[in-house]
Structure 1
Amino acid sequence: MCVCPGLASGLEITSTAQTSIETASGQSVKLDCKFTLAPEDSGPLDIEWSLLSSDNQKEDKVVILYSGDRAYEDYYDPLKGRVHFNSADPKTGDASINLTGLKSTDSGTYQCKVKKAPGIRSRKMLLIVMVKPSKPRCYAEGPTQEGKNVVLRCISNEGTKPLQYSWEKTSDSKLLPSSAVMDPVGGTINVRNASASTSGTYRCTATNRVGSEECILYLNVTPPPNTAGIIAGAIITVLLILIIIAIILFCCCRARNKKKYEKEICNEIREDVPPPKSRVSTARSFTVGSQRSSLGSMSPSNLHEYALKPQYDKIPSSEEFERPPSHAPLPPPTAARMAGPNLSRMGGIPVMIPAQNRDGSIV
């Protein structure tokens, strides 16, 4: 308690409570300031609560005021509506105030000053509003495999420092692994060469002077993966992908070549084969047969006359048949033919010889 001397009077501050208070945010606190008056203190009563500035160059802030038998509670905007006199009539000797809904910004040194002429007395109190730890976050850092070093972390984002962290195992034997190294300030626990027995449920608690919060972590330590199997599977997968790509490219090239070949066949100009010369062969066969039949029916007497007709003994060649009619050669002159009656008198037998037109066909 700090009592500032004043003029000789009977005014005294009688509060003996602690001058430093630590409390959590969100709670309420009472700043005690009780006094007594003497008969010689006859002036008006003034009570003033102010928040002292930590910088001597800045002005102190009046928080609440009682003067002229009236309370003024709206002097300080940050505490507006959250600061009240503890007594409805401070003249009775109770100048204490109540602060509600505390925040960390409410921390500071408060001064209670009581004036009743000719007496003046004051009292200072240090208020520390602390923030309890927020709910921490628990997680495992790094691979949680057998034979590896596993790091468990616990972090609380809010809370007045210093914060303390503690770990405990809540499953199985409820004992931390023998190789575990805990850091109570950093909130970590390092488990070296983790084994299957390291698996289980862990709890981390973050604590400061005004409260604590905790989180739960389930740790599952797994066997190391089969590296050879993973590599083999990856190689097989790559080979299958390459084979599929090769098949697709082969099919595309084959389809493209087939389409190109069909297009070239459609655009190719084909030369027709000339038709067989059926008329020539027919004419030849007919002429030879006719000549044979004619020769067979002739007698020796008319062979001489038949021999005089070389035009009909000769088989026309293909060139003669193909020659235009306008250029066909005229038949050679022959001996005068004998009339039918004269031939009969001579003992000959008239024979009808098939006539031929200029192109060699039989009429």
Structure 2
Amino acid sequence: MDLRTTCLCLIHVILLTGSACGLQITSTGSTSIEKASGESVKLDCQFTLAAEDTGPLDIEWSLQPSDNQKEEKVVIVYSGDRAFEDYHVPLKGRAHFNSPDPKNGDASMNIMGLKASDTGTYQCKVKKVPGISSRKVLVTVMVRPSKPKCYAEGPTQVGKDMVLKCSSPDGTPPLQYVWDRTTGNKLLPPTATTDSMGTVTVRNATEAVSGTYRCVVTNRVGSEECMVTVNIAQAPNTAGIIAGSVISVLLALLLLALLLFCCCRARNKKKYEKEIAYEIREDVPPPKSRISTARSYIAGSQRSSLGSMSPSNLHEYTTHGKSQYDKIPSDEYERPPSHAPVTPPSRMSVPSRMGAPNLSRMGAVAVMVPAQNRDGSIV
């Protein structure tokens, strides 16, 4: 062996001896831990010091990011004989040193009330110049399955396919679903099939399939279960249901038609009574008091006419026409103006039938003419 090889071996032995005698982390526990949410975990970091390690003691726990582009987060620190445990806000108040005096060789850290967000790689770094050492622990926080929900989907009738479903809304995958029956022989029916999503399908179910079934959902940190009771019954008489529905619809239509008929009949009856009452009112004779009214009106008109006559007209009235004014008006005068025949007036003379009432009806206006003597003087 040449001189060069001898020197290399000596240097290697010196390095090994120095490393064996310097600061060392002596923890030998698992470097990968799985815990359920809500639990607590202890991350071991035991160490020993050598005589040559004379510098100040510094202990640091940090959370390594899963992405190399991000910076590591300091969780807790021991420096200058003091512990600082409020560096990382998400773990504030939940991360503490396991020992009240870590310089005695116990740099372990406890995390209380684990959450899913606490999952990550934690590194313990112990430094006492000139020695330095570190240890990493992977912590995986798993969520135990939540209370699952069991139910039967679709019809539970003889001859139909029965489907049972089980689902847990929360839980860290993978989740495993297992079905069994708590009644009878506690085995699933021979025609039952189960998938990985917790669904059981029983083909061509019979009444023997009835019973209570249980679903257990499990992951690596816990399990939960639920139960459902199934009663397989005979299929209903669909023909009778259809016939009953048809009869009910027909009866409803018949009742509606009867109601409409009664309403139309009542309306026609009311209309007929109104027409009869109107015809009776049209046949009522006019009141007889109109004759006396006509007579008083004619008498007054005659007085007005006599007062307005000239002497010549007055003589004619006394000799020939008085009898005409004394006559009682006939039915012709009693008729309304719209039914009485109207004779157009003449410019030269007024017929004997054109009395004062007729003139008044035609719109004539009475004029007072002064009386005269024979010699032409006004009286």
Is TM > 0.5 for Structure 1 vs Structure 2?
Answer: yes
Spell out, residue by residue over 1:89-112, the C-alpha distance to the aligned partner (whole angstroms, 9 max, x if none): 000000001000000110100000
1:267 aligns to 2:278 (yes or no):
yes
Distance 1:175 1:40 in 2: 70
1:31 aligns with 2:59: no
1:272 to partner: Cα distance: 6.6
In the other structure, the counterpart of 2:23 is 11
Aligned length: 269
Matched with 2:104 is 92
Paired position in structure 1 for 2:252:
241
Shift of 1:144: 1.0
Shift of 1:222: 1.4
Letter aligned with residue 218 of structure 2: T
Q: TM (normalized to structure 1)? A: 0.72
Tell me which of 206, 220, 223 is aligned to 2:231: 220
Give a deviation string over 1:227-258, Cα, whole Å, max 9, x none.
11011100110011001101100110011001
- Inter-partner Cα distance in structure 1 for 2:244 and 2:264: 30
Shift of 1:86: 0.2
Taking the TM superposition and a 5 Å limit, the aligned residue runs for 1:1-363 are: 10-183=22-195, 185-268=196-279, 269=281, 271=283
Give the letter for the 1:186 counterpart: M
Take 1:135 and 1:166, find their aligned partners in 2: how far apart are those partners?
14
Q: Shift of the alpha carbon at 1:173?
A: 2.2
Structure of higher CA gyration radius: 1
Q: Which runs of 5+ in 2 are unaligned?
A: 1-15, 286-326, 329-379
Which amino acid is the alignment partner of residue 152 of structure 1?
L
Partner of 1:299: none
1:92-141 superposed Cα distances (whole Å, 9 cap, x missing partner):
00000100000011010000000000011000000011110000000111
Larger fraction in helix: 2
1:42-97 deviation digits (Å, cap 9, x = unpaired): 00000000000111111000010000000000000000000000000000000001
Cα RMSD between the aligned structures? Answer: 1.7
1: CA distance between counterparts of 2:226 and 2:255? 51
**Aligned equivalents of 2:283 and 2:54: distance in 1?**
143
Q: Percent identity?
A: 67
- Partners of 1:272 and 1:110 in 2: how far apart? 117
SS at match of 1:78: helix
